[in-house]
Amino acid sequence: MKSIIEQASSIGKAVEKAWERAEYPQEFSVKIFQEAERGFLGFTSKPAKVGIFFQEVIQSKKTVTKKQVIKTESNKKPSPKKSITPKDLENTARPWIIQAMKFMNITNVPLNVKTQRNHLIITFEKPVFDNQLREKKLFAGLSQLLIVMLRNQLHSDLRDTKIIIKRK
């Protein structure tokens, strides 16, 4: 198992940076070492520090030069936009959220996933944490990770899609 520790101005940004550095593993767990602290004027006085833990996928490594990367990117034609249905969003998001919650040892919290227009709405039926601030930070981090995961798995930019995570 490998791990990457990253710092940023928020937990969500730190997790996203670490996930990118790990080259987007499908399965990983997150450990929050330090939450971001803000000073008098709202500036970050201490950054958030998180670690992600994942299994390294062993692939055959092929060295690619900078010229090859530039050449392949310039020759690449834009792919046609794939039409994403609301069911695609719901069916992709639900298992991912359940798995992410299991990684954080949060179980038995029923949730509903539905789409309305360009909104993906995830509603937890009961509180995830007693502390509302902690729950708000969790929801913010999950929504950022969820949009990145949906973009990668559905191969769409989801430009107008908004994710709303709330509790009843």
Q: Is residue 146 part of a domain?
A: yes
Same domain as 53, residue 87? no
Predicted local confidence at residue 6, as pLDDT = 93
Q: Is residue 108 part of a domain?
A: yes
Q: Is residue 8 part of a domain?
A: yes
Q: How many domains is the chain partitioned into structurally?
A: 2
pTM higher than 0.75 for the full model? no
Q: Is residue 140 part of a domain?
A: yes
Q: Could you tell me the residue range of the domain that residue 131 belongs to?
A: 83-167
Predicted local confidence at residue 111, as pLDDT = 92
Q: What tens digit of pLDDT does each residue of 63-77 get?
A: 555 454 444 444 444
Q: What tens digit of pLDDT does each residue of 134-155 get?
A: 888 888 888 888 888 888 888 8
Q: Is residue 134 part of a domain?
A: yes
Same domain as 139, residue 89? yes
Q: Is residue 74 part of a domain?
A: no
Predicted local confidence at residue 121, as pLDDT = 92
Contact in structure between 50 and 30 (CB atoms under 8 Å) = yes
Same domain as 120, residue 49? no
Same domain as 88, residue 53? no
Residues of the chain with pLDDT under 50: 60-61, 66, 68-78
DSSP string, the chain: -EEEEEEESSHHHHHHHHHHHTT--SSEEEEEEE--EE-TTS-EEE-EEEEEEEPPPP-------HHHHHHHHHHPPPPPPPPPPHHHHHHHHHHHHHHHHHHTT--S--EEEEEETTEEEEEESS-S-S-HHHHHHHHHHHHHHHHHHHHHHHTS--TT-EEEEEE-
Same domain as 151, residue 101? yes
Q: Is residue 69 part of a domain?
A: no
Predicted local confidence at residue 69, as pLDDT = 47
Q: Is residue 15 part of a domain?
A: yes
Q: Domain with 133 in it: what CATH number?
A: 3.30.300
